Structure 1
Amino acid sequence: MSDFGSRTEPFRKELLAHCYRMLASVHEAEDAVQETYLRAWRSWSAFEERSSVRVWLYRIATNVCLTALEQRGRRALPSGLGAPATDLSPGTPPDDPSVLFVEPIAESLVHDPATIVTTRESLRLALIAALQYLPAKQRAVLILREVLAFPAAEVATMLDTSVAAVKSTLQRARARLDENPPSEVVEPDDPQAQALLADYISGFENADLAALERALRADAAIEMVGTTAWFNGRVMCLQLLESALGEPGDWRMIPIVANGQPAVGAYFKGEAYGVAVLTPTATGLTGIHVFSTPSLVPYFGLPLTPPAP
């Protein structure tokens, strides 16, 4: 048992990313990883090494996630719950208390320099939300085959099914995702993404609506995650942003990376407000997902009060 930690710990971050793709919640993903390691520890003496430790851990983690998904519905974004808002009325939580929302994840929690590009692409907010529309088994197969590139035979073993079943399930999952392909997103360290992020931060910190107008594409959307409200089109988005800007200095924005996208930890009048995840393209911002949950801010390594400039 003495080598358990040294042989399993190197996979913790990638297992967290895997569970997050399955569950769309960093909190649930952390719980799933904890349960995975607990089950692995209990079974370590019986591990016969017919597969690698990595494959064995993924089998446990995937099944932990599948069990968790049996007990709740899918997580969504506001745009998946209904039509865009027609006025600036404050968003309200869904009438159905069982509706849950996609959560953002900090890059530092899943960062692996060797696979950073692949990891970022597979954690994009739009993709995570789209994955939640797949039945749980389809979601697992698609992630294991397409994102993690496990052979069909290994996936079949992980899920206690046949290779033929894995192939047909993957085909159905691909067809479902292809119905709404995500837009092309530039990397967060790309100069264009950095320029758009700078305009967004400047717009809020200086109450400069013109900076925000420069950043937004005509088809931009803002989603107030946690409510049913989302706003479509630059005109409506600018009206919403203007109503939120306040005075210069009211807002403080700290750049971060969430879901492989540029983002900010936001503070309003000296207190944590939440996180906003930006979707940058070569021609402007197409999306802003606002998570107005102060407790998310520490997950991104930030304090609950704004750090000194």
Structure 2
Amino acid sequence: MTATGVEVDVTAASEAEFAERAEPHRRELHVHCYRMLGSFEDAEDAVQETFLRAWRRRETFEGRSTFRAWLYRIATNACLDLLTRTRPAAATGGEARWLQPYPDRLLDELPAADADEPEVVAVARETIELAYVVAVQHLAPRPRAVLILRDVLGWPAKDVADLLGDSVNSVNSALQRARAGMREHLPAERQDWTGGEDPETRELVRRFADASTVADIDTIATMMRDDVRYSMPPWEGLVVGRDAVVADWTANGFPEMTGLRSITTSVNRQPAIASYHWREQESAYVPLTVDVLRISGGLVTEVTIFGAEQFPRLGLPDRLEADA
């Protein structure tokens, strides 16, 4: 359907008409590719490749499925091709060094989930959180695709089998293996995750931000669970356990840091804290890190830290002025 309200024959459409038909699906396709790939930038490449393939192969759209479903098929194959070319079979050591955050302001562009279907709302939120995205990266590409198509998008097994050129039995078997792999890598208390809208969570994030601003590592430690996990993509290493995290941050000089400011935000539907560091040459606070928190049972259970290069994408200020 074009802006004039006229249904366009995709196979006979002009390039402009085809683009107008495809463009409304860009954000949801990007999120789909992000779940598959774990990288915002790689997802952008995959969507561009999807639109290019769709235009070049528009004559293959036979109308037996919706145009949207046809684009998802192309996007999934584009992701599988990219994974085959550029990635190891799966993430290792509980981390994915290529992981990048996804801005909530862009997630807000997605079609709203039906409020009358709370399970759909929960799936949409939980499957974009960092722990889920990282867990998916541990799966081999084809089981990964099966899991996302079946459990996130709700595709029938037959449709997934058609996409992958496989049998329904093979798809069902791959789904069971993928679910088992996810259980192995997802947090055990996942059903108890607390969203950023909860008042207690907001207060915990505020206190965490305040303690971070003054580099009060002892106070921060009281807010973390014993088995807290910490990583900082793209740097290698997953640190597990409160004492180990405190030791790592201490060894890297965090308690000695001064001249910090922070603001709270959210990415991947999780609370986050953007930290800024005073730079005398600019007479301003400049971007330092973004700490994305996972919170459960009133404690921080995971901290994923991203560098200053993520600030523009996340829509964060490029500087904070000195206090008046």
Same fold by TM-score greater than 0.5 = yes
How well do the aligned residues superpose, as a CA RMSD in angstroms?
A: 2.5
Please say if 1:277 is aligned against 2:292: yes
Contact map agreement 1:123 1:259 (CA 8 A) in 2 = yes
**Which runs of structure 1 show a deviation greater than 4 angstroms over 4 or more consecutive aligned residues?**
75-79, 239-242
How many residue pairs end up in the alignment? Answer: 290
1:286 corresponding residue in structure 2? 301
TM-score, scaled relative to structure 2: 0.81
Contact map agreement 1:77 1:225 (CA 8 A) in 2 = no
What are the equivalent positions in structure 2 for 1:135-174 lying under 5 Å apart? 135-174=140-179
Contact map agreement 2:204 2:298 (CA 8 A) in 1 = no
Please say if 1:13 is aligned against 2:21: no
Quote the Cα distance in structure 2 between the aligned partners of 1:172 and 1:285: 30
> Is the radius of gyration larger for structure 1 or structure 2?
2
Quote the Cα distance in structure 1 between the aligned partners of 2:93 and 2:292: 15
Structure 1 pair 77–62 and aligned structure 2 pair: CA distance change class (3 A): closer
Three-state SS of the structure 2 residue aligned to 1:272 is strand
Contact map agreement 1:101 1:226 (CA 8 A) in 2 = yes
Contact map agreement 2:92 2:138 (CA 8 A) in 1 = no
1:48 corresponding residue in structure 2? 62
Please say if 1:130 is aligned against 2:128: no
What are the equivalent positions in structure 2 for 1:100-111 lying under 5 Å apart? 100-111=97-108
Runs (5+) with no aligned partner, structure 2: 1-12, 114-120, 279-284
1:191 corresponding residue in structure 2? 199
1:215 corresponding residue in structure 2? 223
TM-score, scaled relative to structure 1: 0.84
Q: Which of the numbers 31, 36, 48 marks the counterpart of 1:34?
A: 48
Three-state SS of the structure 2 residue aligned to 1:278 is strand
Letter in 2 for 1:299: R
Structure 1 pair 79–165 and aligned structure 2 pair: CA distance change class (3 A): closer
Three-state SS of the structure 1 residue aligned to 2:211 is helix
Contact map agreement 1:204 1:245 (CA 8 A) in 2 = no
Contact map agreement 1:102 1:129 (CA 8 A) in 2 = yes
Identity of aligned residues (%): 38
Tell me by how many angstroms 1:200 deviates.
1.5
What are the equivalent positions in structure 2 for 1:191-270 lying under 5 Å apart? 191-241=199-249, 243-246=253-256, 250-269=259-278, 270=285
Letter in 2 for 1:193: T
With a CA cutoff of 8 Å and minimum separation of 6, indicate the structure with the bigger relative contact order: 1
Q: Which of the numbers 11, 18, 22 marks the counterpart of 1:4?
A: 18
Letter in 1 for 2:288: Y
Letter in 1 for 2:213: E
Letter in 2 for 1:176: G
Quote the Cα distance in structure 1 between the aligned partners of 2:75 and 2:263: 33
Three-state SS of the structure 2 residue aligned to 1:252 is strand
Quote the Cα distance in structure 2 between the aligned partners of 1:29 and 1:237: 31
Tell me by how many angstroms 1:247 deviates.
5.3
Structure 1 pair 194–35 and aligned structure 2 pair: CA distance change class (3 A): same
